[in-house]
Every structure is written in structure tokens, then in C-alpha cells.
Homo-oligomer: A and B are copies of this chain.
Amino acid sequence: MKIGVLGAGQLGRMLALSAYPLGHQMRFLALSEDNPSSVLGKTFIHNNNNNNNIEVIKKFSDDCDVVTYESENTDVKIIKEISKTTKVFPGNKSLHHTQHRGREKALLNKLNIPCAPYELVNSFSDLEKAIINIGLPAILKTTKNGYDGKGQFLIKSESQINEAWEKILGVESILEGFINFKRELSLIAVRGIDGNLRYYPLVENSHHEGILRLTIAPAQKISKSLQKKAESYMHSLINEMNHVGVLTIELFDIDDELIVNEIAPRVHNSGHWTIEGASSSQFENHIRAITNSSLGETSLKSKFNAMINIIGTIGPTDRVLENSNAHLHLYNKKERENRKLGHITLTSNSYKELQNSIDNLSVYLP
């Protein structure tokens, strides 16, 4: 099939690398030719001076059998235009709920899935009231367009309220109670058009300044009941949204209770290890799902896996290639502070060996 991706970053790139062996063709709707995906498919540039070019979007759409997107921040107007002629997966409902933190929280509450307490904030006085109700510390987050910790402000004391409101530019937001978690986990699943559903194992994620730096897969010391609990939340959410493709849930682990932090309607950085670590990667499974094919196995190929992000500078990739457990993935992006330039997958059947490999590449960790 001819598969279109809205966006042309590293996620589109890795989707393409998975799609070609399955016999598909790739098209990208992008902001510029200079992006990680453009060498891997036909690229349509649709945005000039912040204006969508509807003609280009139509041409892109007409050239695709099915369209998917890289980001929950995708412009709904573009999706609506494309949907006139071409199937888009995941569908409207997934995007509607996940691109707005308020709607996301409301959905979690509706499904009785634990999440942090929150209040919608549309004005400074809303913020003041919310702080009274929720207490401090709390996090002010824009309802839209947040990623990698952007559009967020941790308010520790009342003296910071003005600064917080200014930093997020006074846009529509939510105030969220701060969760004192033991660790961060995520669960990735894939659902087919036929409703078939497969889960990857829970993984553990370490962030630094809002950016994911290290994933351990599977997360260690996870009881069967905790995995099942996470899967039950996923089951409710993915079916409620009639989601097709990969869905990711970020979770806080608090003494074996799980609190949902965020939902992403897409392949996720914390699932990049699946390229080498799982029988079928999250990218291949997303492609299989949206093309109405059978889903691939999500079981582990190695007992222990890790993913280290390459952030800001490319670093000593020689050392990565010399490491017999390591696999290098670069995204063809220019070095820039805090930018995701690539990742390293480490695979092993010994946890000690995995730890040694991580230590050996600690230059890539904060």
C-alpha cells in the first residue's frame, strides 16, 4: 500500500524502515525537505510561512491509500481535509482525546483509570483557585502542544504563580497535582482494525530535564498483577477510542499502584528498543495495524534490553559500534542542544552484561 505520514521526523523514518520490507511505499507530508524521513519516501512540503497549502495536502492525500501521523499535535484541519478522500489511522477519537490534556484527563476519569488530580485553567484567577483546590507542589501544563517537558512549569510555592503563568504565556492549561512516584513506566500496545490487541511488556523510563534518556525493557521487578493492571487500563482506553495502531501510556509506579501520566496515540521513544528487542517492532506493528494486516509477535527476543537516547551531540559512535551488545540508530539530524539525534539499543540475556554495556556507554547519559 501507499502509506502517508503527517510529519517526517525520526518516527516517520523508522516507520518507513519497517514498512519497506512489508512491500509498502512511503509518502511524507513535511514542513521542509531537510528532515529525517525525506530520503525514505516521496515528500510533500505543505507549509509556507505558517500557512497550510491545501492543494499540496490534497495531492499528498490522493497519493496515499492510508495516512497516519507522527504526533498528537497534528493539526485537526489537515486530518479533516485528508479524511474526505483517504482513511486516517489512528482515527478522530484518538486524536481528539490525546491532543488536549483536559480531554485526556476527562477520558481517564470516565473510565475510572487513576490519574493525578487536575483542574482546567483559562485565566490567572482559575490558576489561583486551582492551587487552593489541588495544593502545591503542582504542575501547570498547557492543554496542547507539549512535548519533552515543554509547556510545563512546576510550581513549588505560591511565590511562583506569576512566573508560571507568564512562562506558559497565559494559554489554556491544566493544573495537575504533583505525584511523588517511585519510578516511571510505560506500556505500549497495538490494535488492529479488527480490534485485535497486543501488548509489549512494561518498561522503565528515566528522564532528565523532561527528556527521556534511558529505557530498561522489560522493567524489572514487575509483578504479573502490575502488568495485568497496566494492560487493563490500556484495554479500556484503546477500545474506548476505537484506536487503530500503536498507543502508548506513560505511568507512574507508586508502591505497586499505577497512575496514568500521559497517553500518546503513536509509536513512542520508550518503544524504540523493540526494533532489536522484540519479535516485531512497534514500528512494524503500527504499519501492520493501519494496513489491516495481522499483528506481529510482541514477545522479547533478548531477556534484557535498554535504550539510550543520543541527545544534543552525536558523541563517540565508534564506542557504540565496538560494543557487541549495541545497535546504533541515527536520525540524520543536525546537532542542537536537547535535540533527539538518535538512540542506542542494548540487548543481552544477562542483566549484569546489560548493566556493563550501559556503564560502558555512560557518556551518553546525563
Residues of A within 8 A of B (CB): 13, 17, 20-23, 25-26, 39-41, 279-280, 288, 293-294, 296-297, 301-302, 314, 317-318, 321-322, 324-325, 327-330, 332, 342, 347
B-chain residues with CB within 8 Å of residue A301 when the two chains form the complex = 301-302
B-chain residues with CB within 8 Å of residue A302 when the two chains form the complex = 301
Pair A332/B39 contact, Cβ less than 8 Å: no
Given A22-B330, A40-B40, decide whether A293 and B279 contact each other with a Cβ distance below 8 A: no
Secondary structure class of chain A's binding surface, majority of residues: mixed
A101 CB, nearest partner CB in chain B, Å: 33
B-chain residues with CB within 8 Å of residue A332 when the two chains form the complex = 20, 23, 25
B-chain residues with CB within 8 Å of residue A317 when the two chains form the complex = 23
Given A17-B21, A342-B23, decide whether A321 and B288 contact each other with a Cβ distance below 8 A: yes
B-chain residues with CB within 8 Å of residue A279 when the two chains form the complex = 324, 347
A286 CB, nearest partner CB in chain B, Å: 14
A343 CB, nearest partner CB in chain B, Å: 10
> How far does the alpha carbon of A256 sit from the alpha carbon of B26 in the complex, in Å?
48
Known: A21-B329, A279-B347. 11 other contacts (CB 8 A): A17-B17, A17-B20, A20-B39, A22-B328, A22-B330, A25-B332, A279-B324, A294-B321, A296-B321, A297-B325, A301-B301
A273 CB, nearest partner CB in chain B, Å: 13
